[in-house]
């Protein structure tokens, strides 16, 4: 199957809808709490962060798309980095995704799903069992094959648009509109410059998923023209939705109240529609989170499977086995187990911060790779070139470096320790790679 040439059948509309569908997930429903806690319960800098993160994401998508179009191979960022920097760094990318990014994100989604479920059930002692249980349940569904996982994804994508649309429309109709939106920027005693990095880390989780857009390049009819349009158009739509829905939140409840709710969207819905309406919206949000969780358990184990196929992971013989449905069941189970262990922390924001920090290190390497690839392989066929080169890549690189350095050095001791932990876990991949190379060669 992998050796067959990809069909160039995707047009502009398919690419645009894919961008929107892959990026809009759980973050927009839950991240306002972290945002307004960071700003001290004031709205201004939080709203600015949603716009700035959107612009960063668009420059990132436009930059990475050049690599995607020039290297239209299955495997995504791991393949790009291997092509540009060599096999060892390519492996580290896949290793980081396998042991950090995907498990931490899956765990965070399991935790937030459980927190919403217990808000309906009314028994907080069930939070961790539900978090672990939903991860293992979705993993079991994905062992039935990619067709089943894809069907779940389609249904969940449609369902997640319902609570978004209802909140955006009725927020402005039923909300008082008397709460401040842009002022003050932050609360007393808080420096805007000191917290902007933490805000961006929080908000960028809601925008994550854009890197997968570039993987469509090999299946597009006209990637040179349609890929940048899909990225700019799709991410502009996402940014518009995020800004509007956050305005709707503030139209109903002030930032100081949103900072107190782990599920601000559900709190806004309850304020608008009453307890029963709030519960219905919560169910819609649960379906959305379920779909996002399914998406990560559909794609993440494929990275683990690819590394195992390359014989670079311990236990590769087990991890490369396919079941009767031709699904990499052992890789799915292994990733779900690791994710369930992460979920025992019960910390949604901690887990998402860890995953975003880890992935953005490699995003920056991808952006730098655009410049390196132009120097090393000037004659490489590029169906798409990043516009306004080198300014767009420079913005993407500098923004990414700011996010990573701020998270590592200036965001407080706990955040620094989490970031260092992420780096250490990533670097553990180096002796594993060397060991496996010696063992299998």
Of the pLDDT bands very low, low, confident and very high (cuts 50, 70, 90), residue 5 is very low
The whole-angstrom separation of Cα 123 and Cα 156 is 26
For tokens 């952006």, what's the residue? 367
Asked if residue 65 has pLDDT above 70, the reply is: yes
What gap in Å lies between CA 247 and CA 309, rounded to an integer?
A: 47
Q: How many CB atoms lie within 10 A of CB 431?
A: 9
Contact 313, 439 (CB under 8 A): no
Given this structure, which CATH class describes domain 12-440?
mainly alpha
User: For 242-247, what is the mean pLDDT?
Assistant: 94
* Percent of the chain with pLDDT strictly greater than 70: 93
- Computed over its alpha carbons, how large is the radius of gyration of the chain? 21
Cα(407)–Cα(356) distance, rounded to whole angstroms?
10
pLDDT band at residue 143 using 50, 70 and 90 as cut-offs: confident
The answer to whether residue 86 scores a pLDDT higher than 90 is yes
Read off the pLDDT band of 146 (50, 70, 90): low
- As a whole number of angstroms, the distance between CA 113 and CA 73 comes to 34
Side-chain half-sphere CA neighbours of 8 within 13 A = 11
Tokens of 354: 């860890």
Give the residue-averaged pLDDT of 279-293: 86
What pLDDT does residue 372 have?
95
How far is residue 329's CA from residue 352's CA, in Å, rounded to a whole number? 25
Q: How does residue 3 score in pLDDT terms, banded at 50, 70 and 90?
A: very low
What's the rounded mean pLDDT across residues 376-402? 92
Phi, psi dihedral angles at 172 (to 5 degrees) = -80, -25
What is the pLDDT at residue 197? 87
- pTM of this prediction? 0.88
Which pLDDT tens digit goes with each residue over 196-225? 888 998 899 899 887 766 656 666 777 777
Cα separation, 41 vs 184, whole angstroms: 10
pLDDT classification of 1: cutoffs 50, 70, 90:
very low
pLDDT computed for residue 7 by the predictor: 56
Mean pLDDT of 431-437: 92
pLDDT tens, 99-140? 999 999 999 999 999 999 998 888 889 999 999 999 999 999
- What pLDDT is recorded for position 210? 79
CA triple 390-193-199, angle to 5 deg: 80
The CA distances from residue 245 to 107, 148, 161, 202, in Å, are: 25, 31, 12, 16
Cα gap 327→142, rounded to integer Å: 8
- Among the listed ranges 98-112, 241-255, 288-302, which one has the minimum average pLDDT value? 288-302
Cis peptide before 175, with omega less than 30 degrees from 0? no
Residue 6 near residue 142 (C-beta atoms within 8 A) = no
Q: What is the pLDDT of residue 122?
A: 83
Count of alpha carbons within 13 angstroms of residue 311, beta-carbon side: 7
Q: Looking at the DSSP assignment, which residues form a beta bridge with residue 23? A: none
Alpha-carbon span 27 to 359, nearest angstrom: 16
Q: For 60-72, what is the mean pLDDT? A: 86
């Amino acid at each position: 199957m992998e050796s067959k040439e990809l069909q160039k059948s995707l047009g502009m509309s398919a690419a645009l809808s894919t961008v929107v569908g892959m990026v809009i997930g759980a973050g927009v429903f839950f991240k306002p709490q972290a945002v307004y806690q960071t700003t001290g319960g004031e709205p201004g800098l939080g709203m600015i962060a949603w716009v700035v993160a959107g612009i960063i994401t668009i420059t990132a998508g436009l930059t990475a798309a050049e690599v995607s179009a020039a290297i239209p191979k299955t495997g995504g960022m791991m393949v790009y980095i291997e092509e540009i920097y060599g096999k060892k760094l390519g492996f580290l990318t896949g290793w980081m995704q396998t042991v950090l990014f995907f498990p931490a994100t899956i765990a965070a989604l399991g935790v937030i799903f459980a927190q919403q479920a217990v808000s309906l059930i009314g028994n907080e002692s069930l939070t961790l069992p539900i978090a672990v249980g939903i991860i293992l349940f979705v993993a079991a569904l994905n062992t039935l094959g990619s067709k089943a996982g894809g069907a779940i994804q389609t249904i969940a994508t449609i369902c997640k648009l319902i609570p978004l649309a209802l909140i955006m429309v009725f927020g402005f109709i039923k909300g008082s509109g008397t709460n401040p939106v842009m002022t003050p920027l932050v609360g007393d005693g808080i420096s805007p410059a000191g917290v902007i990095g933490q805000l961006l880390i929080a908000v960028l989780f809601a925008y994550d998923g854009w890197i997968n857009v570039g993987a469509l390049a090999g299946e597009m009819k006209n990637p040179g023209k349609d890929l940048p349009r899909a990225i700019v158009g799709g991410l502009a739509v996402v940014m518009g939705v995020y800004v509007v829905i956050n305005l709707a939140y503030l139209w109903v409840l002030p930032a100081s109240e949103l900072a107190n709710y782990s599920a601000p969207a559900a709190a806004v819905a309850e304020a608008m529609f009453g307890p029963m309406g709030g519960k219905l919206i919560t169910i819609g949000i649960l379906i959305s989170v379920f779909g996002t969780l399914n998406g990560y358990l559909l794609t993440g184990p494929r990275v683990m499977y690819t590394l195992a196929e390359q014989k670079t992971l311990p236990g590769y013989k087990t991890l490369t086995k396919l079941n009767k449905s031709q699904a990499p069941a052992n890789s799915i189970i292994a990733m779900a187990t690791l994710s369930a262990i992460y979920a025992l922390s019960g910390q949604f924001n901690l887990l998402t911060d860890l995953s975003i920090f880890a992935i953005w290190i490699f995003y920056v390497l991808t952006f730098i790779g655009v410049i390196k690839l132009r120097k090393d392989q000037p004659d490489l066929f590029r169906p798409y070139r990043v516009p306004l080169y080198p300014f767009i890549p420079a913005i993407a690189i500098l923004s990414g470096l700011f996010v990573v350095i701020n998270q590592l050095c200036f965001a407080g001791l706990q955040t620094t320790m989490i970031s260092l932990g992420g780096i250490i876990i990533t670097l553990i991949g180096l002796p594993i790679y060397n060991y496996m190379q010696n063992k299998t060669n």
